[in-house]
Structure 1
């Protein structure tokens, strides 16, 4: 399978003094992951690093993604017992594995995966994952409504994580799908989803031209909105993604208005003006 186009970024944010997030990006092997550690300085980053290392090693040995995540849970518990990191450290994870035109997303905790599909009228954003969180449980039970989720005082309480001392066995959720043209999958920690709502994420993706541009703009928006947590973002492009000559030209041209077709029209008029001036000058 050819390597998929992708881009990844992580930042400690504007409030925290260390970064407990980390990511795994192995395009040649079709594997990406975001891990959001917890447990304080020299603990959360240890847990997330163990998750990253375990997933990487599991891919090499041929184990499937769900088994690899279960193994990372045991590895974090074992490390804490040996004095690596600290007791009670943990991590979320959301991981993407691609095999030709099929993909699998598996997760534990509240790190998310989104599917962005480019369409004629802009595009459509779909959240592929369901948070393992207290607020999600309230929402599913009907105790609160969708409009209460973002403002709920306990929205950051998760119901399970890798390394949880209360869970000898974690539940790994999985969704599977098939790539279509003009799609991206976005993996992120809650440092993005807490600061940037789905409507804003969709608007940024609608105007971004490449995974790199999308990742950078999503990161900047999270920081502009406060950067209260560590932020990690990955954007992975469908192997079927096609770029027209105009699309490729737009990637090269600098942005003026931020709207693709307006910019294209402005450059077209500028080019036409140059041609007309040259014509009248040389005739």
Structure 2
């Protein structure tokens, strides 16, 4: 199921999950899009960019294509269930195909007419989470045993590259480079998806979100919201609604999208 614009989605599944997207308080249009496919345990978030509704078109295209191709992949390569590296290689090919499709749609376009999007995807296979991303929509994992929240995805931004070179992250918080992407779906001929996998345990929680959420909620505050959710045994609907509300309370400067999955 794909969702764009005013949307709240909760599906019965082997894993409790919920997704919500909100326009925020400033933007005139919601260019975020997400999908939850409980049958195949596929979860996707995209944050579009481009003028004249092109960002919304790009994010919807990316999510629709990625979900369809990932379903085919999981059907075709069942024998790779115990080979996460092999499966991630195939998922990278899915990202490449999505990128190629949108890049060709951009042929001959200039300036604001060029559309692009971030793309972050999670699929649960056995007791593992396989994750992939291009851009700066993030994937977090809350360790239910240790009560710790950590980011597992990599931001494709100039700021992230600068941090890796030892530049102070506090300085970057106010930096022009924080939201300058080094790669996105549809804007270049080739991309290099960030991929990985992690073993999961009961009561772990996965969060996939656009930058409109994490830019409005500091790491400490985000961490505390997950700890409170775990302590109160709150549902994923309550967690997602709380995250969206907190991001709006703190300014809501961008579109806000979140998917939460409890293992």
Fold match by TM threshold 0.5: yes
User: What is the TM-score with the length of structure 2 in the denominator?
Assistant: 0.83
Contact 1:81-1:87 at 8 Å conserved across structures: no
Corresponding residue for 1:229? 254
**3-state SS in 1 of match to 2:222:** helix
8 Å CA contact 1:65–1:97 kept in 2: the answer is no
Partner of 1:162: 185
Q: Which runs of 5+ in 2 are unaligned?
A: 1-12, 75-89
SS of the residue 2:39 aligns to: helix
RMSD: 1.6
Tell me the distance in 1 between the aligned counterparts of 2:248 and 2:170.
23
Aligned in 2, Cα 1:100/1:43: closer, same or farther, shift over 3 Å? Answer: same
Report the Cα offset of residue 140 of structure 1. 0.9
The answer to whether 1:211 aligns with 2:236 is yes
Distance 2:174 2:217 in 1: 13
Higher relative contact order (CA 8 A, sep 6+): 2
In structure 2, the residue corresponding to 1:236 is in which secondary structure?
strand
* Runs of 4+ deviating beyond 3 Å: none
Write the deviation string for residues 90-110 of structure 1: whole angstroms up to 9, x where unpaired.
000110011121110100011
Instruction: Check if 1:99 corresponds to 2:125.
Output: yes
Match in the other structure for 1:32: 43
**Take 1:27 and 1:82, find their aligned partners in 2: how far apart are those partners?**
38
Q: CA deviation at 1:87?
A: 4.1
Of 157, 164, 167, which residue of structure 2 is paired with 1:133?
A: 157
Give the 3-state SS of the residue equivalent to 1:180 in structure 2: coil
Q: Shift in Å at residue 141 of structure 1?
A: 1.1
Q: What TM-score comes out, normalization by structure 1 length? A: 0.77
Aligned-residue offset at 1:154: 2.5
1:253 matched to which residue of 2? none
SS at match of 2:216: coil
Per-residue CA distance 1:237-274 (angstroms, 9 max, x = gap): 11xxxxxxxxxxxxxxxxxxxxxxxxxxxxxxxxxxxx
Query: Aligned match of 2:201 in 170, 174, 180?
Result: 180
Pick one of 144, 166, 177 that aligns with 1:118: 144
Between the aligned partners of 2:169 and 2:226, the Cα distance in structure 1 is 23
